Amino acid sequence: MSSPILAARRAGFAYRGAAPVLHDITLDIPAGRSVALVGESGAGKTTMLRLLLGLDRPTRGQILFDGEPLDLRDRARMRGFRRSVQSVFQDPYSSLDPRQRVRGIVSEPLRSLGLAGADPGGKVAAALAGVGLPADAGDRYPHEFSGGQRQRIALARATVCDPRVLLADEPVSALDVTTRVRIVDLLGELKESRGLTIAMVSHDLSVVAALCEHTAVLENGRVVEQGDTEAVLGAPGHPYTRRLISSVPRLPTTPS
């Protein structure tokens, strides 16, 4: 297995004056692999993603990027980190500025990271094409698109600067079932074509089974089980994982 591009080493997090949200999380995210964080609401999944994104600093332990501790105070290193690690969020509408045309939204990482160069329009067009949208989509506003198309715009923005890692927080939960399948397929295509590493928070175990190779199960801020997704979901070893899987709604079988 490839060495981890992102990793947590006994990472914990607590808001000032509050009980810990995360406890001693150890997690590897190998380059070129897809990793899921699953668990009930309040298990600490999104907080863990925020640590991996460098939006919060662990109150104990470390987050490692390319084997080195992530230091939010090191501006030069964080600039390289921001280019390498991009994100996609749950609601594809609220994550897009309604006042900007799509071209401006997608080119924003290029401008903020100083990567626009001589042909920003060409990079934006290539990013839009890479997620299945035409170049003229850049002239329109987010409200002119469907939910699935908006998430494609968010993916174009996240991939326009050629990141190495994509961190996704419930990227399909706000979409209808058919659109979910298309976006999951697109994430798989982006992973393969770009060599992306993906870490994803999801409560939808069918999405996890379809996209992710490794799964970590969080309960009350602790990883209680992790391993190959097929093994974790197919033969769970921890009682909490079994309860999580058994809670997934299933259609009743029709008597023959």
Model confidence pLDDT, tens digit, residues 135-144:
899 999 999 9
Asked, for residue 76, whether it belongs to a domain, the answer is yes
158 domain residue, yes or no: no
Most confident of 3-7, 17-21, 227-231: 227-231
Residue 253 clears pLDDT 90, i.e. is over it? no
Residue at 201 is within a domain? yes
Q: What average pLDDT does this structure show over 131-135? A: 91
pLDDT of residue 254: 55
Residue-averaged pLDDT of the chain = 91
Partners of 165 in the beta sheet? Answer: 85, 197
DSSP state of 135: G
How far is it, in rounded angstroms, from Cα 171 to Cα 87? 10
Residue 93 lies in a domain: yes
Residue 73: the pLDDT is 83
Number of domains in the chain: 1
pLDDT of residue 174: 86
Coil, strand or helix: which one is 71?
A: coil
Q: What is the mean pLDDT of residues 9-26?
A: 93
Q: Which two tokens stand for residue 206?
A: 């069918």
* Long-range CB contacts for residues 11-17, cutoff 8 Å, separation at least 24: 11/48, 11/51, 11/58, 11/60, 11/61, 11/62, 11/63, 12/58, 12/59, 12/60, 12/61, 13/44, 13/47, 13/51, 13/56, 13/58, 13/59, 13/60, 14/59
Question: For residue 72, what pLDDT band results from cuts at 50, 70 and 90?
Answer: confident
With contact defined as beta carbons under 8 Å apart, do 200 and 53 qualify? Answer: no
pLDDT at 44: 94
pLDDT given for residue 2 in this prediction: 57
Asked if the structure places residue 173 within a domain, the reply is yes
**pLDDT, mean of residues 90-104:** 91
Tell me whether residue 131 is in a domain.
no
**pLDDT mean over 85-113:** 92
Position 96 pLDDT exceeds 90: yes
Q: Is residue 72 part of a domain?
A: yes
Q: 88 vs 120, which has greater pLDDT?
A: 88
- Give domain status of residue 9, yes or no: yes
CB-based contact 194:127 (threshold 8 Å):
no
pLDDT over 60 (residue 238): yes
Does residue 118 carry a pLDDT above 70?
Answer: no
Print the domain residue range for 19: 4-97+163-246
Q: Does 151 score more than 70 pLDDT?
A: yes
What is the Cα–Cα distance from 50 to 53, expressed in whole angstroms?
5
Cα–Cα distance measured from residue 6 to residue 139, given in angstroms and rounded to the nearest whole number: 36
Lowest mean pLDDT among 27-41, 66-80, 175-189: 66-80
CATH number at residue 88: 3.40.50.300
